[in-house]
């Protein structure tokens, strides 16, 4: 069946329908990862977005449920050049086509994803529609595309109640803003007892549990939409509990301390982004997924200083908070997918907790 991707600038791509046949409007973003499509699909940070995979062949090693970063996929839609119908992998348990259909995610295959990515790079991220309706009316559709916003999607992706991953090491409170499974897993495999809290948990409840450390996770959407969560993070910051934050957590901590954020032209999404540690001048290849960034020119040096910078475009990739046991990064040290170069940051967090005990 034919499917159409309609962008808000009026560009139309024609391809083949994959997955569900429902019609969706979403923000169209691209990911440059060469592997890890299942981890991308199950990353809650993609809620409210439709993902373009720049690698031309997707689905060739099938679906292995053990590799999922959450219990379900989150993107509104999925856009690929070629979908492999016959996966070859001894671990494969399903095809990506069945996976998309089962979870009611529409997609489109057979389009020139290279040309689409060039449009998004040149004009910036824009909204779009995936539809199988051959009688679509651009005059009716384009105003709807321009009006679409992702809204407050953190509420959609966070866990509904707290749960615990047992361990005999430090007790870590993980605030789930849309956390990937491997964040808690990276702490748990280092011996931590991880208690995962819903995003809107009052700071007082977390503090009252006397954790040795607090972890703020990744998540979707515009950080400035999370006004209530920012207030609670400010309370967590004002304690002496060591805090490590990733991605959205990094942005919310900055906003809680008077910094600002803005939307990037097309964001960073993929497993090949170089970041420099400003303390050691070492460069690491990182996994990233974000469309917003912290403005360091509006950062008070008495509160925080840049700790990491993106080598490609010099945007901020991390902050160290002055006089506090708090550090935050924009990228994903837990990988999944992507390189594990920066996994040492979890070890840094472990040492912070040991020192402050």
Burial zone of 251 (CB within 10 Å; 0-12 exposed, 13-18 middle, 19+ buried): buried
Pick from 255, 243, 247: which is nearest to 295 by CA? 255
φ, ψ at 282 (rounded to 5°): -80, 145
Does residue 23 carry a catalytic annotation? Answer: no
Residue that finishes a domain, picked among 114, 130, 147: 147
Q: Given the DSSP bridges, would you call strands 49-53 and 77-79 parallel, antiparallel or unpaired?
A: parallel
Query: Residue 169: which of 342, 355, 350, 352 has the closest Cα?
Result: 350
Question: Mean pLDDT across the chain, nearest whole number?
Answer: 97
Q: What is the percentage of the chain residues whose pLDDT exceeds 90?
A: 96
- Considering the domain architecture, whether residues 25 and 109 belong to the same structural domain is answered as yes
Spatial contact of 320 and 349, defined as CB atoms under 8 Å apart: no
226: closest CA among 261, 183, 268, 182? 261
Q: What's the predicted TM-score (pTM) here?
A: 0.97
Do 105 and 163 have their domain in common? no
Residues 173, 101: one domain?
no
**Do the Cβ atoms of 220 and 49 come closer than 8 Å?**
yes
Does one domain contain both 32 and 173?
no
Residue 81's domain is classified under what CATH number? 3.50.30.20
Average pLDDT score over residue span 4-23: 98
| Spatial CA neighbour of 267 closest among 12, 13, 29 | 29
Rounded-to-integer distance, Cα 30 and Cα 42, Å: 15
Give residue-wise pLDDT tens across range 262-320: 999 999 999 999 999 999 999 999 999 999 999 998 789 999 999 999 999 999 999 99
Angle CA(324)–CA(353)–CA(210) in degrees, nearest 5? 90
Cβ-based neighbour number of residue 18 at 10 Å: 27
Q: Quick one: 129 and 175 in the same domain?
A: no
pLDDT of res. 353 = 96
Domain enclosing residue 203, as ranges: 154-356
Q: Which of 125-129, 193-197, 293-297, 305-309 has the lowest mean pLDDT?
A: 293-297
103 plus 196 within the same structural domain: no
Whether residue 298 sits in one domain with residue 264? yes
For residue range 313-351, what is the model confidence (pLDDT) as tens digits?
999 999 999 999 999 999 999 999 988 899 999 999 999
Tell me whether residue 291 is annotated as binding.
yes
Pair (327, 271) in one structural domain = yes
- 216 a known binding residue? no
pLDDT for residue 355: 82
Predicted pLDDT of residue 115: 98
Instruction: Cite the beta strand spans of the chain per DSSP E.
Output: 2-7, 12-19, 24-31, 49-53, 57-58, 77-79, 82-83, 106-109, 126-131, 163-165, 171-176, 193-198, 213-216, 243-246, 260-277, 283-295, 304-310, 316-321, 326-329
What is the CATH number for 350? 3.40.50.880
Same domain, 126 and 160: no
165-190 mean pLDDT? 97
The predicted structure's pLDDT at residue 298: 79
**221 labeled part of a ligand binding site:** yes
219 annotated to bind ligand: yes
Pick from 147, 180, 214: which residue ends a domain? 147
pLDDT the model gives residue 42: 98
Asked if residue 137 and residue 162 are part of one domain, the reply reads no
Strand 57-58 and strand 24-31: pairing? unpaired
Structural domain count, the chain: 2
**Predicted local distance difference test score (pLDDT) of residue 297:** 86
Q: Is 247 a catalytic residue?
A: yes
Q: Which residues contact 218 (CB under 8 A, 6 or more apart)?
A: 43, 44, 45, 177, 178, 179, 180, 183, 246, 247, 248, 249, 289, 332
226 has catalytic annotation:
no
Instruction: Note whether 162 and 23 are same-domain residues.
Output: no
Contact between 294 and 304 under an 8 Å Cβ cutoff? The reply is: no
Mean pLDDT of 43-61: 97
Active-site residue, selected from the candidate residues 27, 39, 247, 268: 247
**In angstroms, what CA-CA distances link 142 with 25, 196, 310?**
10, 41, 35
Last residue of a domain, one of 126, 147, 168: 147
pLDDT in the model for residue 357: 65
Could you report how far apart the first and last alpha carbons of the chain are, in Å?
Answer: 61
Whether residue 107 is found in the same domain as residue 215: no
Annotated binding-site residue? 292:
yes
Listed range (46-50, 222-226, 298-302) with the worst mean pLDDT: 298-302
Summarize pLDDT for 71-124 with one digit per residue, the tens: 999 999 999 999 998 999 999 999 999 999 999 999 999 999 999 999 999 999
Q: Where are the beta strands (DSSP E) in 104-228?
A: 106-109, 126-131, 163-165, 171-176, 193-198, 213-216
């Amino acid at each position: 069946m034919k499917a159409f991707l309609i962008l808000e600038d009026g560009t139309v791509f024609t391809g083949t329908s994959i997955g569900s046949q429902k019609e969706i409007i979403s923000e169209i973003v691209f990911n440059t990862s060469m592997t890890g499509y299942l981890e991308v699909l199950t990353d809650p940070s993609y809620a409210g977005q439709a993902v373009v995979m720049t690698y031309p062949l997707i689905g060739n090693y099938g679906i292995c449920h053990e590799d999922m970063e959450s219990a379900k996929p989150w993107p509104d839609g999925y856009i690929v050049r070629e979908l492999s119908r016959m996966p070859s992998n001894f671990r494969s348990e399903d095809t990506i086509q069945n996976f998309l259909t089962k979870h009611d995610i529409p997609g489109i295959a057979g389009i020139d994803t290279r040309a689409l990515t060039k449009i998004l790079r040149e004009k910036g991220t824009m909204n779009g529609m995936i539809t199988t309706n051959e009688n679509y009316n651009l005059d009716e559709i384009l105003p709807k595309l321009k009006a679409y916003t992702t809204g407050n999607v953190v509420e959609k992706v966070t866990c509904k109640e707290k749960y615990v991953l047992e361990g005999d090491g430090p007790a870590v409170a993980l605030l789930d803003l849309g956390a990937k499974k491997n964040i808690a897993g990276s702490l748990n495999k280092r011996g931590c007892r991880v208690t995962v809290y819903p995003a809107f948990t009052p700071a007082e409840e977390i503090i009252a549990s006397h954790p040795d450390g607090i972890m703020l996770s990744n998540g979707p959407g515009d950080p400035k939409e999370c006004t209530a969560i920012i207030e609670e993070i400010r309370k967590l910051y004002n304690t002496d509990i060591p805090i490590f934050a990733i991605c959205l957590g990094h942005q919310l901590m900055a906003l809680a301390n008077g910094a600002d954020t803005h939307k990037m032209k097309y964001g960073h999404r993929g497993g090949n982004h170089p970041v420099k540690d400003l303390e050691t001048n070492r460069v690491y290849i990182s996994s990233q997924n974000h469309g917003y960034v912290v403005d360091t020119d509006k950062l008070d040096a008495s509160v925080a200083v840049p700790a990491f910078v993106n080598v490609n475009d010099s945007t901020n990739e991390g902050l160290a908070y002055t006089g506090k046991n708090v550090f935050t990064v924009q990228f994903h040290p837990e990988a999944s997918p992507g390189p594990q170069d920066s996994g040492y940051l979890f070890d840094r967090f472990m040492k912070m907790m040991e020192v402050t005990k």
